[in-house]
Amino acid sequence: MPYSELSINELETELIEAKKEYEHLKGLNLNINMSRGQPCQEQLDLSMPMMDVLNSKADLRCEDGIDCRNYGVLGGINEAKKLLGDLIEVPAENIIIYGNSSINVMYDQISRSFVKGVMGSTPWCKLDKVKWLCPVPGYDRHFAITEYFGIEMINIPMNSDGPDMDLVEKLVSEDESIKGIWCVPKYSNPSGITYSKEVVDRFAHLRPKAKDFRIYWDNAYSVHHLYFDNPDYLDEILNECKKAGNPDIVYKFTSTSKISFPGSGIAALAASEANLVDIKNQLKIQTIGYDKVNQLRQVRYFKSLDGIKAQMKKHASILRPKFEAVETILDCNLTDLGFANWTKPHGGYFISFDGYTGTAKEIVSKCKEIGVLLTDAGAAYPYHNDPNDSNIRIAPSSPTLEDVKKAAYAFCIVCKMVTLNKMINEKREG
């Protein structure tokens, strides 16, 4: 029965039972970290054969005959551009290959925009105000970048098919100080939502007042399906923008970080020809070229998009039982109580949980007390400010399956205890 239909006495009886179970869990000395979307050791082991692809006797020339040990090749070797282009469905000529981290590429793009501007526009450092649109709940590391640069962040609610495009269209068309929007369009962090065809089309047709406005399209989870027999579909944004007569409005990011080794993959940016010319003019001052040996290693290991897909099916077989365990335990323990809901993603690394208003911070704190570490409450919102104090990101990837089950059950008990206490106090006060 939903808690909202119970009397104070009934709620208090439920609270006594929840507190007993909480004390029991406290005695188990749990130590389970579900705070970040890190691959587990079993996933990391999948890529160990990559370490055998190159050795001291290997030919380290790429297909153009360039020695990858040496300087040069600013945009990356051709075979790496083709591999990552195939990964995100864009031509190799629209790709720049960077180092190991796509978040670093995004940081650099914003930093260069402040110092040099975008395609001849006024550098942002000379403007009175710079604003950014932030779909929420969203990716905390995105928000950390814009906060670091002092950019004013504006919340955009996420619907079941992507950001609220009515609001996005209105704001960008009226306010020249809005320079960008963060997007994780496929298996979004943390909700797992994939943007619909209509949402992608509306992004492609945006007509922002700021000529230097850019969509930061972080397609981090393009092949990170949990169910390969029924994956989510996402329209390709660069092609849609080109068809809409709006080719320069988007930067598209990807990497192999959670395909191979998270700390040693290769990252890429895809954009229009005009954007790439602008970026390379600045990039050539910053570097002579990124790690071509690692680019060659990744290409020779995966060989093609089919090789990446085969690898991702192995990742899915490890991750899928963990996600299903969390969903099953939440369903069994919380569904009938009526105070919470959560996403059931088809891919990616996270489950987004929304509990009773005003409880998220205490739930995270009480979970920590019994040895279950979660992402800080509010992290999925700019400035860590969740206005409802209700959203919690669950990251099941890193612990073992047995630990995921223990953590999910403990999480349910804490949710019950904190929510019951909150409801009892509200009934007494009201």
76-120 pLDDT, tens per residue? 999 999 999 999 999 999 999 999 999 999 999 999 999 999 999
212 within some domain: yes
Instruction: Please check whether residues 274 and 376 belong to one and the same domain.
Output: no
Which of 303, 335, 360 finishes a domain? 303
51 within some domain: no
- CA dist 422 and 430 (Å) reads 12
Whether the CB-CB separation of 380 and 190 falls below 8 Å is answered with yes
Q: Closest Cα to residue 343, out of 236, 229, 189, 213?
A: 189
> Domain limits at 386?
3-44+309-429
Kindly compute the dihedral angle of the four CA atoms of residues 75, 79, 81, 83, in this order, to the nearest 10 degrees: -160
Residue 38 belongs to a domain with what CATH number?
Answer: 3.90.1150.10
- CA angle in degrees (0–180, nearest 5) for 421-427-429: 100
234 within some domain: yes
The total number of structural domains in the chain stands at 2
CA 32, chain centre distance (Å)? 21
Instruction: Please check whether residues 262 and 387 belong to one and the same domain.
Output: no
Q: Is the pLDDT of residue 430 over 80?
A: no
Residue 126 belongs to a domain with what CATH number?
Answer: 3.40.640.10
Model confidence pTM above 0.95? yes
Written in H, E and C, the secondary structure of 226-294 is CCCCCCCCCCCHHHHHHHCCCCCCEEEEEECCCCCCCCCCCEEEECCHHHHHHHHHHHHHHCCCCCHHH
Helix or strand holding residue 325 (H, E): helix 305-334
Instruction: Please check whether residues 33 and 92 belong to one and the same domain.
Output: no
Instruction: Please check whether residues 274 and 318 belong to one and the same domain.
Output: no
Order of strands, edge to edge, in the sheet holding 95-97? 95-97, 267-270, 250-255, 214-218, 178-183, 131-136, 152-159, 162-163
Show Cβ contacts of residue 178 under 8 Å, excluding neighbours closer than 6 positions: 131, 132, 133, 154, 171, 172, 208, 209, 210, 213
52 within some domain: no
Structure tokens at 229: 């027999």
Which of 303, 320, 349 finishes a domain? 303
271-316 pLDDT, tens per residue? 999 999 999 999 999 999 999 999 999 999 999 999 999 999 999 9
Which of 257, 282, 303 finishes a domain? 303
116-143 pLDDT, tens per residue? 999 999 999 999 999 999 999 999 999 9
